[in-house]
Structure formats: C-alpha cells, structure tokens
Amino acid sequence: MTRKNKKFVGLFLIIAILIAAIFLLLPKKSIAPNGGVKTSETATVTASLSNNLSNLNWPKGQTINAAILMYHHVGPVPAGADEIRRGLTVSTANFTKQLQYLKDNNFNVLTLAELYRAVSNGKVPEKTVVLTFDDGYEDNFTVAYPKLQEFGYKATFFIITSKVGMADYMNEDQLKELSRSGNEIASHTVHHLSLDTVSGVTLEREITESKAYLEKLTGVSVIDFCYPSGKFSDEAKDDLKKAGYKMAVTTEPSKGSFSSDKPYEVPRFRIGPTTNLENLLK
C-alpha cells in the first residue's frame, strides 16, 4: 500500500470513529414496540406538552358532585360473542338515547381532565357528567366518536398501549384524531396487568411507559389513569402520584360524587347493555 493510500485509510478510520461516537452519545428517541417509551427519553417527553395542569391546586375535604360513567364497547355484538363481551357492549341505539337524555336534561359533559381543572378552580358545573371508555376498542372510534361529535360531547379514552394497532383496538392515527378533536387520551397501563399483583419495576413501567408513549403520540400531558379491572395497591397509588398523574378511576360503584381526598380512588357508574341512564342519574 502506498503512503498516500495509507493516509487516506487512516483519515477514513478517524472519521468513522468520530461518527460512531456521536451516534452513541445521542439520546434514544423511539417508541418501544410494546407500547412504552424507552427510559432514556421518558424524562424529556413531557418538556413541551399542552394541557399542563401541574400548576393547579387540588382542594382537600370537598365532595365533588360529578357522575363518572364507564363504557367499554359501543355498537353491535359480534356473532358468537361470549357473556363477558355481551355484558361490556352498549348498542348504538342505547348509546344514542343516553346522549340524547344528557342533552335534553342540560347535563354538562366534561372530560376527566376538564373536571380536574374545574375542581381545582372551584368551578364545577351543576349536573356534571364524565364519559369514560376503557381499553381503547376500535368501536370507540368508529361508533362512539361520531355519536359524540353529533351531540357536541367529548370523552376520556383509557388506552392499553401494548394493544394500540392490534385487531379490534384503535390505532395511532385514530388516537391522534380523538386527541386533536379535544377528547382526552389517558392511560390504562401497557399490558393491562392487575396492579394489586405486581410491584417494583414492573409496576412502575406499567404506569410510566404508558404515560410517556401517549404523551409522545399526542403531544398532550396525560394526567389521568384507569386501574385494570379496578385493582390497585397503595404502592400503585404512590407510583401514580410520583409519575405526575392527578386522578385515577376505579370500578367501584359510584353514588354520583366522590371525595377530593381520594383522587386516586374515583368511583364510576358501570354502563351495561340495559342500563337506564335516567334512573342512574336521578
């Protein structure tokens, strides 16, 4: 090899080493395939989010008069569906009737994030109702969302992030559309694990990675959480608070109100296929 060629090879190696070093030093910023966000970027994801409510002061010792409604599927029941699937499904006709009842009787329909802001500002409207949808099923977008638009209502959608884009679940584009339209996209963990049976790193990742993924996807701060199957522990509540969540909903039956002293144990009305909303909200 000539002296000139040796110099060229040496220069090439130096440049290659410098490029490799720069690449290794750059922070990783990719969405993990399991619906979470890699840990190296979790701390920076929330740096420039909209809907940041961290400066609000949540009151103590107050009764919050608001009915939180819990939906799952909306639309027709598939042929051969089991009892669980049938029990989680509200027909399009019944859902429409329920929205019409809310409209005709002047209920104020808020998202959970809007309720948090209203409580913090001491201005919760009378006859407040929050519509929540668990799990992130596709019919929430294809059936429920158009009906919500028809009545001018918005809702809170709790998403299992590992299920995003899978069959029967909403995909990223649908979630972004919901968010752009003013609906709230909130966390329902990464893998829908029962949080009373996990702890430590596993629990922390279910709580933080789902939040970071949704915030990166929508650009909106995620402040609300839904416990899978309504199960939780003191450790789970502590981790939620540390992660920046403001409220968490359960499956405990609601009486139409809850205590501001328990923002991580908010009860809800379960809405099933035969629920009479008028009787429920009297």
pLDDT of residue 16: 52
Under 8 Å between Cβ of 67 and 118:
no
CATH of domain 39-280: 3.20.20.370
- Whole-number mean pLDDT of the chain? 88
What mean pLDDT is predicted for residues 18-29? 43
pLDDT of residue 282: 85
Under 8 Å between Cβ of 257 and 221:
no
What are the tokens at 182?
């003013």
Using alpha carbons, select from 8, 120, 140, 147 the residue that is nearest to residue 58.
120
Strands 89-90 and 73-74, how do they pair?
parallel
How long a stretch of residues is the chain?
Answer: 282
Q: Which residue has the higher pLDDT, 41 or 253?
A: 253
Strands 257-259 and 63-71, how do they pair?
antiparallel
For helices 200-218 and 172-180, give the axis angle rounded to 10 degrees. 60
Using alpha carbons, select from 106, 122, 146 the residue that is nearest to residue 58.
122
What mean pLDDT is predicted for residues 242-252? 98
pLDDT of residue 40: 38
pLDDT of residue 55: 74
pLDDT of residue 11: 52
Asked if the model's pLDDT at residue 9 lies above 90, the reply is no
Three-state DSSP string of 23-55: HHHCCCCCECCCCCECHHHHHHHHHHCECCCCC
Q: What is the pLDDT of residues 57-96, one digit of tens each?
A: 899 999 999 999 999 999 999 999 999 999 999 999 999 9
- CA-derived radius of gyration, the chain: 23
Q: What is the pLDDT of residues 182-211, one digit of tens each?
A: 999 999 999 999 999 999 999 999 999 999
Within 10 angstroms of residue 182's Cβ, the number of other Cβ atoms is: 11
Residues 6+ apart with CB under 8 A from 104: none
What are the tokens at 9?
């090879």
Strands 266-270 and 247-253, how do they pair?
parallel
For helices 200-218 and 234-243, give the axis angle rounded to 10 degrees. 40
The pLDDT confidence band at residue 35, using thresholds 50, 70 and 90, is low
Predicted TM-score of the model (pTM): 0.84
> Using CA atoms, how far apart are residues 59 and 122, in angstroms rounded to an integer?
8
Domain ranges of the chain: 39-280
Using alpha carbons, select from 131, 202, 198, 192 the residue that is nearest to residue 164.
192
